[in-house]
Amino acid sequence: MTGRFKVLALVAVLALLMAACGDDDTGSTGSSSPTETAESPEPSESAGDESEGEEEYTVEAASSDLGEIVTDDSGRTLYVFMADTSTESTCYDDCAATWPALTVDGEPSAEGIDASLLGTSARNDGSTQVTLNGHPLYYFASDTSPGDTNGQGVGGVWFVVSPAGEPIQS
């Protein structure tokens, strides 16, 4: 009975996540929302608008069940959003609550990844989002531990990213 409850809860959460992100992949800029990336993933050092740990992030290659993927320096998995067709993010408001941007103050650095593929892009809240091979990078709020890849394939538009900066769609 406990297993059945867990499955039902997971299905409900995934349905809510897909619904939350479905409204924002039409290019909405969220100009009326004052807190577009107000909350970071559960470990507070990971992303967004938190002041601690923002000086510089190292983006790293890591091994996973999906092959070589990209993580931040604490091992948190990074994702790309297929609705982003340029270096500018289209994930704001409710989408950004579920998929917080990897942001930095300064320039990001790379370990095990070609540093020339790294870049940044301005978000409309004034923060600076890290990009890899032209793709803005995000966390998944439901990844609670380093190495989690719970966001892989969500809604058919969120994927982990390879060290070459390409979505892994398997």
Rounded CA separation 153/51 (Å): 30
Q: Is residue 166, in this structure, part of any structural domain at all?
A: no
Tell me what pLDDT residue 19 has: 42
The residue type found at 82 is M
Q: What tokens were used for 59?
A: 């983006």
The CA R_g of the chain, rounded to the nearest whole Å, is 15
Which residue from 166, 137, 167 is spatially nearest to 152, judged by alpha carbons?
Answer: 167
Neighbours of 115 (CB within 10 A): 11
Q: Are strands 128-132 and 118-122 parallel, antiparallel or unpaired?
A: antiparallel
For 93-132, how does the pLDDT look when each residue is reduced to its tens digit (9 = 90+)?
A: 999 999 999 999 989 999 999 999 999 999 999 999 999 9
Number of structural domains (the chain) is 1
| Domain presence at residue 56 | yes
- Looking at residue 170, its pLDDT comes to 82
**Token pair belonging to 146:** 């380093």
Single pTM value for the model: 0.70
pLDDT single digits (tens) 79-92? 999 999 999 999 99
Q: Is residue 90 part of a domain?
A: yes
Per-residue confidence (pLDDT) for residue 27, from 0 to 100:
38
- The 10s digit of each residue's pLDDT in 2-57 is 544 444 444 444 444 444 454 443 333 333 333 333 334 443 333 444 334 444 55
Q: Which is higher by pLDDT, 21 or 139?
A: 139
pLDDT attached to residue 137: 98
Strands annotated E in the chain: 58-64, 67-71, 79-81, 103-104, 109-111, 118-122, 128-132, 135-136, 158-160
Residue 108 falls inside a structural domain = yes
The rounded distance, in Å, linking the Cα atoms of 77 and 156 is 17
pLDDT band of residue 167 (cuts 50, 70, 90) is: very high
- The Cα diameter of the chain in Å comes to 51
31 assigned to some structural domain: yes
Q: Which domain holds residue 20?
A: 2-160
- Residue 136 inside a domain? The answer is yes
Which pLDDT value is given to residue 57? Answer: 56
With bands split at pLDDT 50, 70 and 90, how would you rate the model's confidence at 58? confident
Q: In angstroms, rounded to a whole number, what is the distance separating the alpha carbons of residues 127 and 132?
A: 17
| Domain presence at residue 10 | yes
| Strand bridging mode 58-64 / 109-111 | parallel
